[in-house]
Amino acid sequence: MIPILGSNTPFPPLEQALIEPNGLLAAGGNLSPERLISAYRLGIFPWFGQDEMILWWSPDPRMVLFPQEIKISRSLHKVLKKQQYEIRVDSAFTEVMQACAAPRENQAGTWIHDEMVAAYTALHQLGMAHSVETWIEGELVGGLYGVAIGKAFYGESMFSRATDASKIALAHLAKQLEDWGFGLIDCQMKTAHLMSMGAREISRSQFSGQLAQLTRLPDRKGKWRFDFTYTG
C-alpha cells in the first residue's frame, strides 16, 4: 500500500517507494505550484492518467543527462552547423505541452491531459517552468518543456514534427545550461532516444544527493533568453 496524501500531507521518505511499479511513492494531494515545487526538490514527479487519482513517482535508478556529457552525432552536428532553424525559449509553452500530448505511434493515451497542462502553465507563469522550441520557417516543429529549480532542470516531455527537431532543442538546452552552471537535466525514465544523446542512469540516492546541493542554489526565474549560439 502507498500512502494517500491530503492537501498538506508531506511526502513519505523516498525509500518507501515501491519496487514494482518502479518508484510509485504516494497518491492524492494536488498539483498546486507549491506542491509541485516541493515534489521536484525531492526528486518526485506526478504521472497519472486523466480522471485518475494523482500518482507521485521517484524511480530507482534515475535517468539523467549531465549537460557537459551531451553527445552530438555527426548527422546532428551537420544539422546544427547549418542552422536552418530558429530556437525560441518560452514563446509557446502551452503549445509545446499540447504538442507533447498529441497521440503517438504505439502509445494508447497520454498523461499530459488538461489538469497537467493547467498545472505546468501555472508554474510557467511563475517563471519556474520553461519550453525550448525549434521553429522552421515560422512553424513550431519540435521542442521540450520542464521545470527549473536552483541549478537543476527537470525535463518532462519532448516532441518532434520534423527530423531531429527535439534533438536540436535538447542540444541547445544542454549547452546553455552548462554555460549557466546547471548540474543536471532530469530525464526521469530510460529511453533509447535519451541514451543516444548521452543520458545515463544513476541511483536514486545519488540523484537525491545532487538535488540537495543543486536546488539550494539561486533560481533562474522569469522568462528565459538563451545567449548560447551553436557554432559547431
pLDDT at 160 over 90: yes
Q: Please report, rounded to a whole number, the percentage of residues in the chain having pLDDT higher than 70.
A: 96
Mean pLDDT, the chain, rounded, equals 95
CB 172 within 8 A of CB 143: no
Does residue 20 surpass a pLDDT of 60? Answer: yes
Residues facing residue 201 across a β-bridge: 63
Counting Cβ atoms within 10 Å, is residue 79 exposed (0-12), middle (13-18) or buried (19+)?
buried
Please report which confidence band the pLDDT of residue 104 belongs to, taking 50, 70 and 90 as the band edges: low
CA distance 27 to 21: 13
The residue assigned the cell 503517438 is: 104
DSSP 24: E
Residue 106 has pLDDT above 80, yes or no: no
What's the average model confidence in pLDDT over 140-157? 98
Residue 40 has pLDDT above 60, yes or no: yes
- Residues paired with residue 142 on neighbouring β-strands, in sequence order: 134, 160
Q: Is the pLDDT reported for residue 108 higher than 50?
A: no
Q: If pLDDT is split at 50, 70 and 90, which confidence band does 51 have? A: confident
